[in-house]
Structure 1
Amino acid sequence: MGSEVAIFRLESRTVETVLKTDRLVEAPNWTKDGKALVINGDGRLHRVELARPAMVEIDTGFAGNCNNDHGISPDGTLLAISDSTERGSSGIYTLPIGGGPPTAVTDEVPSYWHGWSPDGGTLAYVANRTGTFQVFTIPVGGGAEREITSDFDHCDGPDYSPDGAWIWFNGERNGAVDLWRIRPDGSDLQKMTGDERVNWFPHPSPDGRHIAYLAYLPGVKGHPRDEHVELRLMPAEGGKPEVLLPLYGGQGTINVPSWAPDSAAFAFVRYDRDK
């Protein structure tokens, strides 16, 4: 499996390759200072400086089974990770941005992090408590979790709008996977796509104008890696999406928030189908 970490620039509609590796890497986050990306690979997180791209491992302490659901706090000081080392199933932890011992946030598993509220106080994630994955929130310091959705067949990818007014996510009902948004208190659920595509991982841009997301071909089940997919862009208030880039990817491409701080670009991963 060959992986290519890349940047899509909105103004020019061009792609810039940052890093190529024979390792499986996934899910880039963009640091608050705009100088680096954070990716996962081999159960650990790695920092990739854009000026001198190379994978530098971040110390995640005991957490050696980090999956591709990780992200950076709005103030740039903390990392949220999803790791299964301690409990055999994914739980959510935080640690300093430069590395250090993880602190547990969720008591129950499985829990997979996906979004951070703009004020830094709340995490959005998906969890399976009663047989299906739904959207939950929890204070960043831990405590009682709140179930935001309850009647989807499957949910994934919750991510806050930059004003904190909405949580976007992909939700499956009756075999169709669409993008949805909902208020953080669980009210005002709105369906934002309704085409034949299998739509995953919506990410609002920091300026509040756009939603970047991943579109699978009709009939694809789940969110597998080795698929022909499209990166798409839609207005934040809904409307016709634009196809930005066809690619070979899926799982690992844009699982987590990956916009540049200035909203001029976002990072993604694509894969070499010949490896």
Structure 2
Amino acid sequence: MLYGFTLHEATSMVNIQPNPFNKYGIFDHQINIGKPTISGTVAYDTGSQEYTLEGSGTNMWANTDEFQYLYKSIQGDFILRAHIRFVGEGVDPHRKIGWIIRNNLRGDSPHVNASVHGDGLTSLQFRRETGGETEEVTSTDVAPDVVQLERREGVYYMSTAKFGEPFTTVKIEDVNLRNEVFVGLYICSHNPEVVEKAVFSNVRIIKPAPKDLEPYRDYLGSNMEIMNVETGHRKILFNSAHSIQAPNWVNNDRELVFNSNGFLYRYDFATDEISQINSGFAVNNNNDHVFSFDESILGISNHNQEDGGTSSIYIMDPKGDSLPRKITKDGVGASYLHGISPDNKSMLFTGERKGKYDLYSVDIATGKEVQLTDTENLDDGSEYSPDGKYIYFNSNRTGNMQLWRMKPDGSDQAQLTFDTAYKDWFPHVSPDGKWIVFISFPPTIGFGEHPFYKQCTIRLMPASGGVPTIVGYIYGGQGSINVPSWSKDSKHIALVTNSD
């Protein structure tokens, strides 16, 4: 849902690019740094988008390094993230894998290195000058399988976690590498006569938003991804230089529908083709588009030019064969769609009424509205469970944005999440009714905000309540999963992530 923004000029071109990965995926080249006795290898699997590195090397310490390196050149600030694992028991407990940033490709180059050892030791290692001694900051994390290395305004942050848990972060502030550096994945066996092997998945090199980015005027590029919520494995389907947002998984898991620049588009898994949905006069659609459970109705939130550009709710034929029909009335305030009832009789929306935002239902046939919540702060993200027995939503009525549940008439409102370290938005119930997936923003964002371009997590919890588990570490936010995004098999979701 979008509040108080001016939509930039709509265009029918979404500038979709096919996956640009080459034989080294998102990287440029590979090399054996320091001339180890046994040369390493790199393999990239285009199907799984996983990287397998094999390498030797005496060590990565002291005044010089030997290791197998898969790298890319980059400038400015960036975020490097990957899931990592050794293959096999290994020989030396000090074998290492991780991310490394280097000034050059010599063995004695200054560097910053997020290092996970074979025995579980995790440290942020660095060499300040050419041929200098290697130093380190040791993390309290042991044997993580998610590793992130970030450069932000000259400060280096290593964040690590066992999959499903929050990051543990350490940093260094006084290592001065060049603006233009090499970044990449590495493996070192810590034994010149031994070759070790590791697999890297969910590998992302992210260029974050600049500090002067103006939200809703300036946009980063987008990746359309799918995720297995059991394993956390993600795959990029395509990317775009434009802002694409809010994917729905439709047509028996054969297509995705998403929005960009006011228009709606379909992505076909079989053909890898994008087609635009004809929405007639509705060319200022935001990211609140929802299909009915049987997919016979497509509901949209379009900025109605006859009502001063205020968001109004419409229904339309999902194929675009007829003009949209407006459901909410003019002059009553903004309306942002979030759900359609299983019987196709009513719609859920966040309504700007009485000077504040609450949850409402509207009868599709008559347009009659019913107020479901009444709080001083913000209720949003309402969605029916597949059996129609509950409505799930998010609310900051207790001082922090959390997930809630109520009955369809608004009664029995109950809080489901109680975290202070997260701000939880947009609960989506799996088609089998067992799970909720939602996006959790960092606690530093403003009260009631769900902005673009933040380091967020995708979390999963039982629909009845319980302890949430992290299933995705992403750079995104607004538009990542604003709408129902589950596959029919309740095993996958679609989401959007961002990078400049």
* TM superposition score category, shorter chain reference: over 0.9
Q: In the TM superposition, what whole-angstrom CA distance separates every residue of 1:52-109 from its partner, at most 9, and x where no partner exists?
A: 2333111110011000000112221221000013321000001101113110011133
Q: Which has the higher contact order (CA 8 A, sep 6+)?
A: 1
Paired residues for 1:1-12 under 5 Å: 1-12=220-231
Say if 1:29 and 1:259, in contact at 8 Å, map to a contact too: yes
- Aligned twin of 1:30: 249
**Structure 1 residues 172 and 130, CA gap change in structure 2 (3 angstroms):** same
- Distance apart, 1:174 and its partner CA: 4.9
**Looking at CA atoms only, which structure, 1 or 2, has the larger radius of gyration?**
2
- 2:114: which partner in 1? none
> 1:141: which partner in 2?
365
* Stretch deviating more after TM superposition (48-57 or 220-229): 48-57
Give the conservation status (yes or no) of the 8 Å contact 1:27–1:253: yes
Q: CA deviation at 1:51?
A: 1.6
Separation of aligned partners in 1, 2:407 and 2:416: 14
Equivalent residue, structure 1, for 2:288: 69
Which sits farther off after the overlay, 244-253 or 132-141? 132-141
Give yes or no for contact 1:32–1:75 (8 Å, CA) kept in 2: no
**Aligned match of 1:199 in 424, 442, 453?**
424
What SS does structure 2 have at the residue aligned with 1:114?
strand
Amino acid at match of 1:37: L
Q: Percent identity?
A: 38
Change (3 A) 1:13 1:226: closer
Q: Alpha-carbon deviation of 1:34? A: 1.4
Match of 1:89 in 2: 310
Cross-structure match for 1:102: 324
Partner of 1:211: 436
CA contact (8 A) 2:231 2:471 kept: no
Measured after TM superposition, the shift of residue 32 of structure 1 is: 3.8
SS of structure 2 residue aligned to 1:176: coil
Quick one: distance in 1 between partners of 2:397 and 2:319?
A: 40
Deviation string 1:113-161 (CA, Å, 9 cap, x unpaired) is 0011112211111001111111100122342101100024001110111
Letter in 1 for 2:239: K
Q: 1:16 aligns with which of 226, 232, 235?
A: 235
User: In the alignment, which of 479, 490, 496 is matched to residue 263 of structure 1?
Assistant: 490
- Asked whether the 8 Å contact 2:393–2:405 carries over to 1, the reply is yes
Match of 1:220 in 2: 445
Could you give the per-residue CA deviations for residues 206-235 of structure 1, whole angstroms, max 9, x where no partner exists? 101100000011131200011110000001
How far apart, in 2, do the equivalents of 1:184 and 1:220 lie? 30
State how far apart, in whole Å, the 1-side matches of 2:265 and 2:365 are: 24
- Greater alpha carbon shift after TM alignment, 88-97 vs 15-24: 15-24
TM-score (norm 1): 0.96
| Amino acid aligned to 1:7 | I
Query: Is the CA contact 2:313–2:327 (under 8 Å) kept in the aligned structure 1?
Result: yes
1:256 maps to a residue whose letter is: V
1:232 aligns with 459
Cα distance in 2 for partners of 1:218, 1:64 equals 34
**Residue 182 in structure 1 maps to residue 420 in structure 2:** no
Structure 1 counterpart of 2:299, which letter? A
Amino acid at match of 1:210: W
**How far apart, in 1, do the equivalents of 2:376 and 2:247 lie?**
27
Equivalent residue in structure 2 for 1:159, among 373, 383, 388: 383
Q: CA RMSD in A?
A: 1.2
Distance in 1, matches of 2:343 and 2:490, equals 18
TM-score, length-normalised on structure 2? 0.53
Q: Secondary structure at the match of 2:411?
A: coil
After the TM superposition, which residues 113-128 of structure 1 pair with which residues of structure 2 at under 5 Å, given as runs?
A: 113-128=337-352
2:481 pairs with 1:254: yes
Query: Partners in 1 of 2:436 and 2:414 — Cα distance?
Result: 15
- Across the two proteins, how many residue pairs are aligned to each other? 273
| Partner Cα distance (1:147, 1:85) in 2 | 22
CA distance in 2, matches of 1:125, 1:177: 18
Most deviating of 150-159 and 183-192: 150-159
- Matched residues in 2 for 1:32 and 1:82: separation? 21
Instruction: State the AA in 2 paired with 1:95.
Output: M
Query: 1:64·1:85 contact (CA, 8 Å) conserved in 2?
Result: no
1:42 to 2:264 alignment: no
* 1:90 aligned counterpart, secondary structure: strand
Q: Which residue of 2 aligns with 1:244?
A: 471
Greater Cα shift, 218-227 or 139-148:
139-148
CA distance in 2, matches of 1:183, 1:232: 23
Task: Decide whether the 8 Å contact of 2:264 with 2:276 is kept in 1.
Answer: yes
Q: Is residue 441–residue 477 contact of structure 2 (8 Å, CA) maintained in 1?
A: yes
Contact 2:248 2:486 in 1 (8 A): yes
Contact 2:247 2:485 in 1 (8 A): yes
Given that 1:169 and 1:181 are in contact with CA atoms closer than 8 Å, whether structure 2 keeps it comes out as yes
AA partner of residue 238 (structure 1): G
